[in-house]
Structure 1
Amino acid sequence: MKVLLVDDEEKITNVLASYFEKNGDITYIANTGESAIQLIDQIPLDMIILDLMLPDMDGESICQYVKLNYDVPVIMLTAKISIESKVTGFELGADDYVVKPFHPKEVIVRAERLLPESHKKQVITSGNLELHKNERQVVWKHQIVQLTQHEFNILLLLAESPKKVFSRDDIIQKLFGYDTEIHLRVIDQHIKNIRKKINRDYIQTVFGLGYKMNEKVKSE
């Protein structure tokens, strides 16, 4: 899984990163809230380990941002916490709490227990649509659909964060990099091609903003 470790103490993030990487996971580190938000917006994450207290913003605000825009579990790290603060955190969407000091193995176990089945199986489903990440295969109504590499990447990007609206600039930057000179209309054409190959209702156009997965689509 892709794990973002957010804590202003580099010793903590480095130790956690070492244990997660030995576990076969990919880690990203942020020591400020601002850098954490940037990584959250740039990388399709599977898990976020988030310190409650950061130098530039509180962890609860970051947790709230994550839950409004992404389907990613969040484990909060804290030195001490009252029941009132814990209830507030859960109301904002925190999935679990770990109290410092802790052993990194405890964090890994808690993270793996929170990992959605779709990520464990590397399959994302939405109605009659299935995206098999390892095989890079799309199945719609039990039939394999042939998408180009770019079409698959765009559909996967949207499907992994179904609550988030991606602008055409977002899609270009995430899939092709900041230095690319791809025209914005190329993304529109890719979306059009995807819609032709599966039910067009799966990808929703948000006027003036961009594209997102239509969470209301359950079946056809």
Structure 2
Amino acid sequence: MNVLIVESSKDLAAVWRRHLERMGAVVYTADTQDTATDLLHEIPFSVIVLDLVLEEGSALAVADFASYRQPETQVIFVTNTSFFSDGSIFQHCANACAYLPSATSPSDLATMVEHYAQAAEG
């Protein structure tokens, strides 16, 4: 399974990456909208772990592009803010499958990624 992590904090992305790689995932990271969309042009992903607040670019633009380019790809949104805490992210992004705090344990996040990757891969 190919997983894309889109996270401005390289340290946090590295922690998540290590957990996912231990589960056998092939993990790519991007810290900007442009890098994420470039990767979406080149590589098919089962799941995207996407920080809702990026330092450069828009997470919603990444999710929208993924929905167009790779409609089967599931997006797990993570955030350390209260944006969309009412669950409305699921109304805005058809490919959203989960909404989690950034502080979710890396092993729990990896388990969710594995679950949604299996669903995306059929």
- Structures share a fold, TM > 0.5? yes
Does the C-alpha gap of structure 1 residues 47 and 99 become closer, same or farther in structure 2, counting only changes over 3 Å?
A: same
Pairing partner for 1:106 from 87, 108, 113: 108
Q: Residue in 2 aligned with 1:3?
A: 3
Q: Given the two structures, how large is their TM-score scaled by the length of structure 2?
A: 0.87
Does the C-alpha gap of structure 1 residues 76 and 55 become closer, same or farther in structure 2, counting only changes over 3 Å?
A: same
Q: Given the two structures, how large is their TM-score scaled by the length of structure 1?
A: 0.50
Does the C-alpha gap of structure 1 residues 83 and 16 become closer, same or farther in structure 2, counting only changes over 3 Å?
A: closer
Q: Which stretches in structure 2 are left out of the alignment for 5+ residues?
A: none
State how far apart, in whole Å, the 1-side matches of 2:121 and 2:3 are. 12
State how far apart, in whole Å, the 1-side matches of 2:84 and 2:45 are. 28
| Structure 1 stretches of 4+ moved >3 Å | 82-86
State the superposition RMSD in angstroms: 1.8
SS in 2 for 1:115: helix
Q: Which stretches in structure 1 are left out of the alignment for 5+ residues?
A: 121-220
Q: How many residues align?
A: 119
State how far apart, in whole Å, the 1-side matches of 2:34 and 2:84 are. 27
Does the C-alpha gap of structure 1 residues 85 and 40 become closer, same or farther in structure 2, counting only changes over 3 Å?
A: farther
CA deviations over 1:146-178 (Å, ceiling 9, x no partner)? xxxxxxxxxxxxxxxxxxxxxxxxxxxxxxxxx
Q: Residue in 2 aligned with 1:196?
A: none
Larger Rg: 1
Amino acid at match of 1:8: S
Contact 2:19–2:107 under 8 Å retained in 1: yes
Contact 2:33–2:57 under 8 Å retained in 1: yes
State how far apart, in whole Å, the 2-side matches of 1:29 and 1:11 are. 11
Q: Residue in 1 aligned with 2:59?
A: 59
Kindly report which structure 2 residues correspond to 1:28-107, keeping only aligned pairs within 5 A, or say none. Answer: 28-70=28-70, 71-83=72-84, 86-87=87-88, 89-91=89-91, 92-93=93-94, 94-107=96-109
Amino acid at match of 1:27: V
Between 1 and 2, higher relative CO (CA 8 Å, sep ≥ 6) is seen in 2
